[in-house]
Amino acid sequence: MADITPLQMTARQIESFESLEAHISQQYPSLSRRLQQSARFLLDHPQEVAFGTVAGLAEKADVTPSTLIRFANAVGFSGFSEMQKLFRARLVEAEPSYSERIRVAREVTGESPGAHELLRSFSAANQQALGELPGRIAPKDIERALDLLEVAEAVHLLGARRSFVVSSYLAYSLRHIAKRAFLMDGMGAMYREQAEAISRQDCLLVTSFAPYAEEVQSAVHVARERGTPTILITDSSLSPLTHHADVVLVVSEAEVQGFRGLTSTLCLAQALAIGLGVRQQGSEEVQGSTPHDISLQEEGAANLRG
């Protein structure tokens, strides 16, 4: 009888997509370069994996079919189909609509699309991504994120390049619910200095997408060394920042002709901000707040609605 590796022994206990995702993330550093490439594709495109063929998925992942089969074997499954069952079970548990199960492939015509055609494409892609968002964010994770935000003396918001839009929106919305919030804009290339101003009584909320800006990674390391609780919004459970975060919220954005959206991430940011506002208002009603405090909350909620 062939020896069973520790990796395979653990895989025998995997009964859900969530446990598979956690297992792959844990073993990721020890995998070969090709198997790491396979892992990134599989976890970043769970819906495609659920219904795709080995040949089709391998082509999209830019690996050979045998590599995907070897990956399934490496994590203890007898074959790719056995591992694929967990990806399908994830969709069944989420009760997806037909639109979430159907991936419409558009043929490239070689013609430059008009503005209205682009609008149609972006709208359709973002609608699908938004429909999938609640199924990708575990209730316990969003509640844990709200726990950290609620008890923090101040929230520091970090995001560079494309992610900066999300952080700036969160700074705006949190201030409107009377939560102390500071946008880490890196002015003067001083991300590190801004990170050093964060205390362990605060909370760091980071938004970072591939290729994960170096200045953001550096600032997160500084904050973690200071013991600051950290929430991460990212596009992959294999992001280099996941191991430095207390809560990881993975968002899959729509992509049209190489351009990625921000619709799902901004929706999540809005849910966090309004969810925190609801919590704060409920807590104040129970504990008893001054009319001035309550008026600030109500004014902030009105501003956000506007």
Q: In the structure, what pLDDT confidence band is assigned to residue 93 with cuts at 50, 70 and 90?
A: low
pLDDT of residue 214: 85
Degrees to nearest 5, angle at CA 125 with 16 and 103: 55
pLDDT of residue 104: 35
Check pLDDT > 70 for residue 3.
Answer: no
Burial of 278: CB neighbours in 10 Å, binned 0-12, 13-18, 19+: middle
Q: In the structure, what pLDDT confidence band is assigned to residue 101 with cuts at 50, 70 and 90?
A: very low
Q: In the structure, what pLDDT confidence band is assigned to residue 213 with cuts at 50, 70 and 90?
A: confident
- Rounded Cα gap, residues 204 and 225, in angstroms: 12
Closest CA to 112 of 121, 104, 103: 121
Residues 224 and 244: beta-carbon distance below 8 Å: yes
Lowest mean per-residue pLDDT among 85-89, 215-219, 221-225: 85-89
> Which two tokens mark 19?
């446990």
Mean pLDDT of 137-146: 95
pLDDT of residue 28: 87
Q: In the structure, what pLDDT confidence band is assigned to residue 27 with cuts at 50, 70 and 90?
A: confident
What are the contacts of 288-295 at 24+ separation with CB within 8 A? 293/178
- 149-180, pLDDT tens digit by residue? 999 999 999 999 889 999 999 999 999 999 99
- Rounded Cα gap, residues 250 and 181, in angstroms: 22
- For the chain, domains (ranges, CATH) are 6-94 (1.10.10.10), 139-305 (3.40.50.10490)
Check pLDDT > 80 for residue 113.
Answer: no
Mean pLDDT of 104-125: 66
- 268-305, pLDDT tens digit by residue? 999 999 999 999 887 666 555 554 554 545 555 555 55
Check pLDDT > 50 for residue 98.
Answer: no
pLDDT of residue 53: 87
Tell me the average pLDDT of the chain: 82
